[in-house]
Every structure is written in C-alpha cells, then in structure tokens.
Amino acid sequence: MTKQDVAVVTGGAGFIGSHMVDLLLAQGYQVRVVDNLTGGRESNLAQHKNNKDLSCEWMDIRDLPASSKIFQQAKFVFHFAGVGDIVPSIEKPVEYMSTNVQGTVKVLEAARAASVQKLVYAASSSCYGLADVPTKVDHKINPQYPYALSKYMGEEACFHWQQVYKLPVNSVRIFNAYGTRVRTTGVYGAVFGVFFKQKLAGKPFTVVGDGEQSRDFLYVTDVAKAFLAAADTEHVGQIYNLGAGNPQTINHLVKLLGANDVVYIPKRPGEPDCTWADIAKITTELNWKPQVSFEEGVALMLAEIDNWQDAPLWDQESIKGATKTWFEYLGETQEA
C-alpha cells in the first residue's frame, strides 16, 4: 500500500462511515467522502479538517454521474450511504427504495466507470428477518419491512453488477454496530441514543419487552477494520456476516449504563428475540476478529455521554406514538 492509494467512502460523515475514514487515513490512504449530511455530520470529521489526504463532496448519491471525478483512480469504494430506521421506512417506502436501491446503482456505475479494484457494500442483517441463530450467510432471506428489503435489493444490485459488468464486489451484512458518533436524530431508533439521553435527563430507561432479548453488538472500530479486510483481500463476490458472535442482553446494557430506573414497553412485531452472527466465514477467510469487548465499548461511549445532550428525549407515550405505524403494519395491535 502506497500513499497514493485512493479510497471513496459514501456516507463518510455518518456513524460507521466516519470511523472508516479514520482508519483509512491512519493507514495512509487518500480518502474522498460523499455524503448529503442527512444522517451524517461534518463534526464527525472535524479532527481531519486540515488533513490534505481528505476531501469531501456534500451531495446525494442519487445525483452521482457515472463519470464522477470523485471515483476516478480509486482503488476501493466503501458504500455506507443510505437511509436507515424501521418506522420511517414503513411510512416512506419510496424514499428508501430510491436512496438504498437506485442510489446504490449510481454508486455502482461510478465505480464501474472508474474501474475500481473492489467495492464493499454495507449490507444489513435485517434481510434475514426472524432468523435462526447463530445466523449463517446462507440463511433464507425474509425482510420484514421496507428498510430491510431496500438494503437487500441494494446488495443484489451489487452482485448483479459483478455478474454482468465484472465489477469486483464483496458485501458485509452488519448486525448491531454501536460506538461513539452513533446517530442521534429525531427518529425513535437506536437503543444507545435513547438510553443515553434518558440517563442524562435522570429519566427511566424504556426497555422493550422484558429486556432479555439479545443483540450481537460490535464496536464500530471493529466494523471499520472488517470492511478494510473485505476490500484488501483476493476474495471476490463474497457475503460476510459481521458481529461479535457474542450476543448481549438489553438488561445487561442497562446495568452497564447504570439506569436511573426502568419502565417496560410492549414488545414489537418483526423484532427478533436474538440477533447472533455466525462469524466463522469472516474470521477464517479475512483473518479478522473482534477486538473491543462489549464492556470496553460501552465505557468508551459513556466517556462521551455529553455528546447526547441534544438527542431527543423519549418516554412511554412518545414512543407509543412514534411506533404506532410499526404495530399497524407489522401485524399486531399496540396495547393501550
């Protein structure tokens, strides 16, 4: 690897994307970011503002021309840009399909025109739906909501471009990434942002169900390292599941965060009791393994808890309102 190697990171001002930028710059890459700042923030890249090896283009991936100069002479493309969250995808399916599918096609065309050596697609484990655990990469696909469908269709487009146009692609299906800079938007979603704001405000933690559901949390710097490994490999056309392979219960997270109090809210349809990635393939083929323990990762986030001061504060009633659509369309009636 030389100083001249170029990497493009779509969604590079976002949660995972900004950590990808950190890693690539540390490894000596020239990095080009594409982000429309809908979910990303310039402040996520502030520490690199004087780095001549970083350039940013604030634009929507759907507006990328195939001849985009951003992609020219790029060795790798890491495609994180897209829209997330379950409830908004149920309410605005066209936006999700447009961004996550057609936007991905625009990225693929720009990468193809530039003859990049590898594109790594940030896929979602939500494509599996209510899956058997630990979940293998050949598990049946069963998306439960438009976000999951749109991410899976984006992945399918990537492999179609490989099949037809010989664009080298690998896909990494992320299970539950967490860490510093995780999104804090007005949309009800990521558990860390919800709990951190509740802790700062001295309010009860809102725990879904009985809190014994578990998630395969993986710290974000480990996610970035896995994506670099998926690019810098001879393996092509592969799908990798990405998690820690060590699910943690929400109750354990609540304990680590030192909850003020806990209130329990109804379990939601379409959500698995456990997410658990079978990571045998990625550890074997890419010689990657998680390095940050769950306890260490939570401590790193707690050290920066003040960053969640401006996050929305959720309680039972506001969550009930925000998730009404979720219950309506995914098959169960929310309890009064």
Q: Annotated active-site positions, please? A: 147
> What's the CA gap between 208 and 47, in Å, rounded?
36
> What's the CA gap between 96 and 115, in Å, rounded?
27
Contact between residue 164 and residue 180 where contact means Cβ atoms under 8 Å apart? no
> What's the CA gap between 110 and 68, in Å, rounded?
6
> What's the CA gap between 193 and 320, in Å, rounded?
17
How are beta strands 214-215 and 248-249 bridged, if at all? antiparallel
Task: Order across the sheet with 169-174: list the strands.
Answer: 54-58, 30-35, 6-10, 76-79, 118-124, 169-174, 239-242
For tokens 């998630």, name the residue.
215
| Cβ partners under 8 Å of residue 46, min gap 6 | none
> How many C-beta atoms surround the C-beta of residue 190 within 10 A?
20
Preceding omega of 93 cis (within 30 degrees of 0):
no
Contact between residue 46 and residue 21 where contact means Cβ atoms under 8 Å apart? no
